[in-house]
Amino acid sequence: MALATQEKGETGTVSSINSEHGRDRIFERRLMDMSFTPCTLAKLVKSVSFHPSIEIHVPGSRLALGRVMAERIFTEKKEK
């Protein structure tokens, strides 16, 4: 599931990042700089349908990501 589609309060493990174009290396590098790597836990903290960004928590940080960016990050739901 895409990170942007997680339910509020739901935690998922980053499984992959959709990179299709040559300049996506910049996108991937930016995500890695923000602690987004495979196996990272990401919790959706705040998402408002009319707002272009979402707030997420990764270990040690709270971040705001644009929805377009968050739709390219895929997670697997964490089992409780």
Under the banding of pLDDT at 50, 70 and 90, the label for residue 60 is confident
| Confidence (pLDDT) at 23 | 63
Q: Which pLDDT score is estimated for 79?
A: 66
8 A C-beta contact, residue 57 and residue 45: yes
Could you give the CA distance from residue 55 to residue 39 in angstroms, rounded to a whole number? 19
Range of the structural domain that residue 11 is part of: 3-77
Please give the structure tokens belonging to residue 55.
């707030």
Encode pLDDT of 3-54 as tens digits. Answer: 888 889 999 999 988 866 656 778 788 888 877 788 899 999 988 777 788 9
How many domains is the chain built from? 1
Q: Are 14 and 37 in contact (CB under 8 A)?
A: yes
Q: Is 80 a residue whose pLDDT tops 60?
A: no
pLDDT at 43: 92
pLDDT for res 20: 65
78 CB-near residues (< 8 Å, 6+ apart) = 11, 12, 13, 41
pLDDT of residue 38: 85
Q: What CATH number is associated with residue 49?
A: 2.30.30.90
